[in-house]
A and B are shown apart, each in its own frame.
Chain A
Amino acid sequence: MIENPRQSELPTGAPSLETETLRRHKLTVSEFAGSRAAQERLVEEWRQEIEDKVQEACPLDFFPQHFEIVNWRQLQAILARDGFPRRYEHWNFGQKYASQDVRDTYGLGRTYELVINTDPCVAYLLDSNSVQETRTVMAHVYFHNMFFKHNSCFRHTDRKMLARMSNHAERIRSYQDDVGLEAVERFLDLCLSLDNLIDPHSVMIERDRGDGPRSAGLEKRERELFLPNRIEGPDYMERYLNPPERLAAEVAQKKKDYAERQRRVPISPEQDVLLFLMKHAPLEDWQRDVLSIVRDESYYFAPQRMTKIMNEGWASYWHSHLMTQHLLPMYPSEMIDYCEFNAVVLAPSKKSINPYRLGVRLFRDIEERWNRGQFGREWNDCRDMTARRTWDLSLGLGREEMIKAMKTHSDLTFLDTYLTADFCAENQMYLYERDRRGSAHVTTEEFEEIKGFFRRGLTNFGGPMLKIVEANHLNRGELVLLHQFEGQELDMGMATTTTQNLETLWERPVHVVSKTENGTPVVLSCERGAFEVKKMDSGFSGYLKTNS
């Protein structure tokens, strides 16, 4: 049956068709269209229709969009590899595939789609989703695409990542041939264990390489660097308070310290541990290359982890807009299906924050506030509740502000900028804690606390920030990392193995300067595979101050 069944069921106005239509729209794409070729034709037809509507609704452009229809097994495999059909061999992909298998077999959670950040943008559609779900998902996908293209976090990602991943796979395959499967696996395990030790913001920093014209600001800063401490006093005391010899000695000392600092490795604390290891660890060529592959991929995925709430919010906002205003369903029953789908995706959760919901609510909040002019000093200072409720300057800046926010923010700054006390109250947000027996109790509904929770959870992907502060501790080539303690203790079990892995790579003892939960400084040391947690001693206390 090659003909498109949709032709034969265009509504004729006869009410008896309603039930039949309802049944039809519950069908999956593969049931609806039949053969894979027919499915592709159908999706292509929808693609054109939806693309027109997207352009009509939103002023921003997007990458060319490609849809690939897959069955659930294929989707599982692609999901296991984070959206890339070709990646290097590693057991962890097998594990993800296996747990995906369990999830799908037992129907725990569903994956509707998967979009990857490439140009052209590739999205996978599941052939067992219903017709209606598929159309919604396609609309949704276009706005992920747009987000990838316009959000500043993604500006430095490689849009040809499909080819690059495939190239990575090929390189690793060749190393497997050279040194054996086991050696490569062992080394990959080490690298993956450290793959969160990167500096995702570093790609945005344009470093002064000293070859351009020197800016006045820079020279001023350098002068300030060597400024001696002056004691303020009346002029006639100057000679005694600030004797020129002392000032000169102090400047000389500062210059000497600075010069020494410049000789040290690293000069300033290095957050990109992987890059540092590539440059300085005693690695063989193939190992350095494997490390660079892991680092490349980690940097590629970082922006997606940094913009989960925004990305999903943005796409959900627009798919709702499209489905209710531009892509009006062919049959009323379809609207019900859409609403049901949407309700499931955007359902609030009492135990966690649904990023789809939070994101879409925030974007709607922004739209409304900027449309009504509910921002700026006057609004913030206004304490008259009646005035606030009816506040409407009819500025119509909503969309403009949304687009601005979408382009410039990451989740962290987005929430910092746009999450308001009113919003938290309206959405009944709260924090909870689990007691020893595992039951949860609400601890607070205070806005500042909630905001703090998000800030902690979103800074550095919600993980600890570690920087290399010294690579030649005691002139013995020992590596020292500083954990920038913000009140949360490291997981010691994990830290043990990770530090051991780091030592294996560095081939010299490794120390991590950190603190316990109550703030007592400790040093986690690993020497020849033996791990111990030591009390802070004078040899390390200096590093606590090295905060760049």
Chain B
Amino acid sequence: MHSNRDESKQNVQHTTLESASLGMEPDLRRYREIIRGKVRDDLQDYITSDEIIAQHGNDIVSVPVKEVQIPRYQFGSNQEGAGQGDGDPDAEEDGDGGPQAGDKAGQHIKEESFHVEELADLLGEHLELPRIKPRLTSGLEEAVPRYEGISKNGTTSLRDNKRTFKEALKRTIAENSYDPDNPVVVPVREDFRFRSPRLKPRPKTNAVIFYLIDVSGSMGDLEKSLARNTAFWTDAWIDRQYQGTEKCYIIHDAEANIVDRETFFTTRQSGGTRISSAYQLAKEQMAQRFSPDEWNIYVFHFSDGDNWGDDSAIAEEILKNDILPHVNLFGYVEIGGRHPHGGFKSDLDYAFGDYESVVTTDMEDREDIIPVIKDLLGTGR
């Protein structure tokens, strides 16, 4: 009996209806385009909320969208209604409500699925972010097949009908069997032409992004959330620009550790702050795994700038000698006006103000996420 069920599922092809369900495609596609436009308009809200990052386990995230209403003349909000029963309209309904449920068209909130990449593109459009120009395109090349050639052999699906016909026509004329009054041209085996793949070398760009986040006690929940949001969208945008980026997530308080993505976006920790520990770890990683000759390197650091007194000098030293010479971009984001005395940013600005590869910026609340992303990525480096 149960096998029948599967059989009947495959057996759904049916006269006129077969095309009916397929025919939904254009309408659905257009609707999604419209929704995409709406999401782009409200991108700020989506990006600054934690909701999307919370589901970051997948590449597909669902985004709440409002119903697109066709405007019509209608009455304003009406709080009046009719019901029946023992007179408590607020009471929970029993049962599933039957077929009339969902009859009323209201302001439904729906979830639409988006690929993170898609949202990153929207973000890029929204902020008019420049395409990143890789610092180096390494000597490495990868071969990509492109269907540009023509061959006499191939599969039917790749047959080039126009060329095939031309060949057949040429042959027919050459054989003197072409009759203009009855221009029938029948291609034979040797007339067939097929499109064929050609391997095209394409320069390969490698990128590695270091995300450094300060999880010390002085970073509150808001600060961490801001850092993560910014990191998430920065990450998404750079991912769009490079094939296969490597990530290196480093969290630090007084000590630095390499963690996985999951941990990076969720960890709560506390302790003191030694920024140099993180830079030291990044430096070691570069030396061991990511040679600056082969990799485009990005370093983004999020901190409240509240560093241990003598540590800033050490950190600057590492930056200057071992990090800045090798990176495409070093971004430093100082979060929170709550620690005005911290000021690692002002140290950096003082020391590296004239470095093109250094961007420093600060943020205080959710409003700042978008401008900060723009600051970090607006250089196009």
Which chain A residues have a beta carbon within 8 Å of chain B's beta carbons?
Answer: 1, 27, 30-31, 34-36, 39, 68-71, 73-74, 76-78, 80, 85-86, 89-95, 97-99, 102-103, 107-112, 127, 185, 189, 192-197, 344-356, 427-435, 439-443, 445, 450, 453-454, 462-464, 466, 483, 488-492, 494-498, 501, 512, 517
Contact = CB atoms under 8 A, between A and B. Distances in A.
A163 to B, nearest CB: 12
B23 A86 contact: yes
A435 B79 CA distance: 8
B72 A85 contact: no
B158 to A, nearest CB: 29
A1 B94 CA distance: 40
Contacts of A434: 79, 81
Given A352-B82, A430-B82, A432-B80, A463 B75 contact: yes
Given A69-B14, A345-B99, 20 more contacts: A30-B4, A31-B2, A35-B7, A35-B8, A73-B12, A76-B21, A78-B20, A91-B68, A92-B70, A93-B24, A94-B29, A95-B31, A97-B31, A196-B74, A351-B81, A353-B82, A430-B87, A442-B89, A463-B75, A494-B71
A167 to B, nearest CB: 15
Contacts of B34: 91
B104 A127 contact: no
A428 B84 contact: yes
Contacts of B85: 348-350, 428
Nearest to A106: B111
B76 interface: yes
21 contacts: A31-B8, A35-B4, A91-B34, A92-B27, A94-B24, A94-B31, A97-B31, A98-B28, A99-B67, A102-B110, A109-B96, A109-B97, A109-B100, A345-B99, A428-B85, A428-B86, A432-B81, A434-B81, A463-B73, A488-B76, A494-B69
Given A352-B83, A450-B82, A495 B20 contact: no
Given A349-B83, A432-B80, A95 B68 contact: yes
Contacts of B83: 349-353, 429-430, 432
Nearest to A346: B98
A60 B25 CA distance: 42
* Range, interface on chain B: 35 or more
B27 A31 contact: no
B8 A39 contact: yes
Contacts of B179: none
Given A99-B67, A498-B73, A354 B98 contact: yes
B262 interface: no
B5 interface: yes
Contacts of A95: 31, 67-68
A344 B20 CA distance: 30
A490 to B, nearest CB: 6
A36 B14 contact: yes
Contacts of A354: 98, 100
B12 A77 contact: no
Nearest to A308: B103
Contacts of B23: 77, 85-86
A98 B90 CA distance: 29
Contact of A489 (B32, B76, B89): B76
B32 A85 contact: no
Contacts of A497: 71
Contacts of A445: 87
B1 interface: yes
A89 B95 CA distance: 37
A197 B33 CA distance: 29
Could you say which of B71, B87, B93 has the most chain A C-beta atoms within 10 Å of its C-beta?
B71
B27 A97 contact: yes
Contacts of B77: 491
B157 interface: no
